Amino acid sequence: MTEIESLQHKLVQQLNVIYKNVELAINSNELANVLINTMGIDERGCTPTPHSNHWSEQDVVVITYGDSIICANQKPLATLSEFMDNHLECINSVHILPFFPFSSDDGFAVIDYSSVNDGLGNWSDIKTISAKRRLMSDLVINHCSSRSVWFQNFIKGEGVGHDYFFTANIDADLSAVLRPRTSELLRPTKTSKGSQYVWCTFSHDQVDFDFTNPQVLIEFVRIIRQYLDAGVCIFRLDAVAFLWKIVGTKCINLPQTHEIIRLLRTLIEHARHDAVVITETNIPNTQNLTYFGNANEAHCIYNFSLPPLLINTLITGNCLYLKRWQMSMPPAQDGTTYFNFIASHDGVGLRPVEGILEENELDTLVKTMKLFGGKISSRTCENGKQKPYEINIALIDALQGTINGKDNLGLARFTCAHAIMLGLEGIPGIYIHSLLGTENDYEKLENTAHNRSINRHRWDYQKLSALLADDRNIHSKVLAALTKLIRIRTNQKAFNPNATQFTLHLGLQLFGFWRQSRDRKQSIFCISNITDQPIELPLAELNLIATEIWFDLLDGGVIHDITAVYWLEPYQTIWLSNVA
């Protein structure tokens, strides 16, 4: 059997699972051939090696909008490229949030998947960036803009896209549907075929696709091929948990959704062996873990529980819940890893800590974030009641104090959060506004009336450059502190995303874990004081090997007595390594 025949056989099996209960106008063999041809795979393609890790300790991702930094008389993507070259040379990967023409949701209501937003630049700018750094792009696969040509054709009842969208009967029982919004699920739309009710998981400007139509799948494979040709090698599947809908179910995490992700991974890694698929599934932790499959689905999953748990730890001075969660997390098998982050363009999701944080802890977290200027977004529960879904706040503001109020330890607390995240198993992603210490943007919040705008500031490049050149201000201090951490992290084999990790038991005021390189030559003990008081660390509790010399990678010191008591200042982190 040739490689193409083997690939076709696998795709047919996957398609039979996806469309088991769907009557198709095309059989699975024909559809598999169309997908292979659309992806441009032939006998010269690559057969992926199972359980391959396409990442290392050197991988760090900066998350940014294409226009997070702007400069007069220059396209924002060119400005972004220049800024990264000048200030983020230690970061080898970039996630540019949707850079396509859009109508709402800051890019996530895509009008045209095949074009770059003219206000940002063009495909040449994208290729310039992807030539220097690994590029992550969003595949906004659940929905598109109601202003797209496809949806306009749906209204007309003819042309490409006229049958791309999911509709339901207005009288259908949709009470079981789970979604993160409070708006009406169905959008009444006048079409050439009469009034139809279009499914809208997120907003009425974001109309959901109908993947029971294989033409939608073919269309997205064509889009993926275009992105690969532009240098994209990491695909973030946005809101993918909601992809497949069956009336009468929760319409989330359905088996067909999982199988579509497996099929897309199959095609993508046959087209480019080192390409990576990341699923963005902001759902309870145990459900999120299922998107690894058996190392045959997502290469990476977002570690959505980490942001709320880490913030909770640092404002309470108690690592109980973070520690419990970390101990329960399975090591990612080869071919998979976690994508760690503690801030993003969205808020701090609370669904991922359902069943982890107790209600009183959640209430305290929400109350404290409100005290620090944050906003709270809600969702409608099955009982019809409103429940906090997401905290919207800049991370630098979220960590400006504790549950007792604001203090002067914000920078130390903020740095500690990133030191913990950078040491953990997985690939770290750092939001550009965390790297820059950007505070809550109340002006943008007022202008848009959308809570998420509070953490989507747009910097003027000249003003930002002046601030970063002055080491007395918070923005310069933050970038210097995080750059130092990143430079150290990327040189430690024990910080390989799949290196061994064990949680240390040092009480509830010290959070610690041990990493060991895959060749077992390097060990690093990562320990953080997560309180606002000095804490003593008896080194004897770490069982440091006496025949090794131990170095603190962060301050350059050497441990001469492995039985001594080591004092950690408030929010201080140490990375004790047997390799300098």
Would you name the residues annotated as active-site residues? 238
Residue 353 corresponds to which tokens in the numbers above?
């800590």
The count of other CB atoms within 10 Å of the CB of residue 169 is: 11
Residue 223 corresponds to which tokens in the numbers above?
């889009």
Question: Rounded distance, CA 303 to CA 261, Å?
Answer: 18
**Residue 306 CA, distance from chain mean position:** 11
* Beta carbons within 8 Å of 368's beta carbon, 6+ residues apart: 315, 401, 402, 403
Question: Rounded distance, CA 43 to CA 298, Å?
Answer: 25
Helix%, strand%, coil% for the chain, nearest 5: 35, 20, 45
Residue 25 corresponds to which tokens in the numbers above?
């106008």
Find out whether 210 and 165 touch, Cβ atoms under 8 Å.
yes
Angle, helix 76-87 to helix 461-468, in steps of 10 degrees: 10
Q: Residue type for 200, please?
A: C
C-alpha distance from residue 64 to each of 76, 93, 232 (Å): 11, 11, 15
Of 89, 75, 214, the closest CA to residue 490 belongs to 89
- The full 3-state SS of 262-293, as one line of letters, equals HHHHHHHHHHCCCCEEEECCCCCHHHHHHHHC
Find out whether 98 and 64 touch, Cβ atoms under 8 Å.
no
Residue 458 corresponds to which tokens in the numbers above?
């747009």
* CA torsion angle 316 319 322 323 (round to 10): -170
Burial-class residue 496 by CB neighbours within 10 Å (0-12, 13-18, 19+). buried
In this structure, is the dihedral angle defined by the CA atoms of residues 291, 294, 299 and 301, taken in order, positive or negative?
positive
Find out whether 126 and 230 touch, Cβ atoms under 8 Å.
yes
C-alpha distance from residue 270 to each of 50, 73, 135, 276 (Å): 12, 41, 18, 11
DSSP secondary structure of 23-83: --SS-HHHHHHHHHHHHT--TTS-PPPTT-----TT--EEEE-TTSEEBTTB-HHHHHHHH
- Residue 429's beta-bridge partner residues? 61
